[in-house]
Amino acid sequence: MSSPALIRGCDAADIDGMVRNVSRIKAAGLDFVMTYLKYTKAEHITALHNAGLAVGLIFEAGTQNALQGAAQGTADRNRAGMQADAIGAPVGTPIFFTVDTDVANAASVKPYADAFGSSAGYADGNVLAGLNLRYPWLAGAMGWSGSRDYFTNGLWAICQGTPMRGGHQLGMDWPDLGFEYDPDIARNLDWAWMPAGQPQPSPSPTPVTAIPTAREMQTALVAAGFDVGPSGIDGIWGDNSSDALWAYYNPNG
């Protein structure tokens, strides 16, 4: 089973750890990092850019903010804008608002998201499907509402793994970078703050000549030792097959 062409990166609250280990990040083949605006300074951006890393900007003030409606969205939009201005972010750089909790109903987040006014957001699968963002970042907690289906359907622009110091997640091996981080895979870096004069990296080539059928996918999963459900290889793609595919790409959970 081939993976789509992807660009590798990471996110962490430990921006100082990122900067201390910036050469390890780049040497490991990662091309971007996601940083929280509340922890990030202009000198951090300079160090990351000097190493050739693209930067994604995250705004988070509280895990429940996105459930507090339009007034909170407006307040957070203004605060995010001031924080981005303080580190010299170019006007128009997307800022990822966060829904860092399991939310079953996207409607409860929509007033906040509309007021925040960003094309980019981080959330579970149900929320991202309901908001229809240009740059949806799927949270790594695959037990959250709708997330496994959203991952399997490939609707995300960025997909996050779970905290690690190296190992195997998202269908690939990840190195020890010297600090705890979440691995991320992205389809492109259209949303990123790129280093001056540096073009976007091309995704790793993974030629795919045809999309496999459900039966072919199930056959490959069963051959690899995964359970696709009580009906076995029946050509019908359901929750059991989705769970098996997730387990295939994420053996460490």
Q: What is the pLDDT of residues 161-213, one digit of tens each?
A: 999 999 999 989 999 999 999 999 999 999 999 998 776 666 654 444 445 67
What domains, with CATH codes, occur in the chain? 7-186 (3.20.20.80), 214-249 (no CATH)
pTM (2 d.p.): 0.80
**Residue 228 in contact with residue 241, Cβ under 8 Å?**
yes
Number of Cβ within 10 Å of residue 211's Cβ equals 8
pLDDT digit string (tens) for 51-78?
A: 999 999 999 998 899 999 999 999 999 9
Question: Are 214 and 121 within 8 A, CB to CB?
Answer: no
